[in-house]
Amino acid sequence: MAKEFQDATFQNEVLDSDKVSMIDFWAEWCGPCRMVGPIVDELATEYGEKANIGKVNVDHNPEITQKYRVMNIPTILFVKNGEVVDKHVGAAPKAVLEQKLKAHM
């Protein structure tokens, strides 16, 4: 399962991480988010030792959502060394997200 990142812990869990982070910005009411969520969970299971993979509920974490100017969900950010290195907006098949993840590992 993917981790649940929150405003209060984002700096420590993501920005200060020595691994690449993949963050899924989502909401319970978002249909496409429900399609991407299981894919993110699968990738977290498969790459959990090599990457930092988690989710941010935009309704519960407005600080992170605003900081990264997430206007549409799902939005997937890839963060390495505290910087956004890639981004995907909208639903995507597993192969697309996995390719982006591997490119930054």
Q: Which residues are catalytic?
A: 30, 33
3-103 is a CATH 3.40.30.10 domain: yes
Q: What is the pLDDT of residues 43-73, one digit of tens each?
A: 999 998 999 999 999 999 999 999 999 999 9
Q: What is the pLDDT of residues 17-43, one digit of tens each?
A: 999 999 999 999 999 999 999 999 999
CA angle, 100 then 101 then 105, to 5°: 120
Residue of 71, 72, 76 whose CA lies nearest to 5: 76
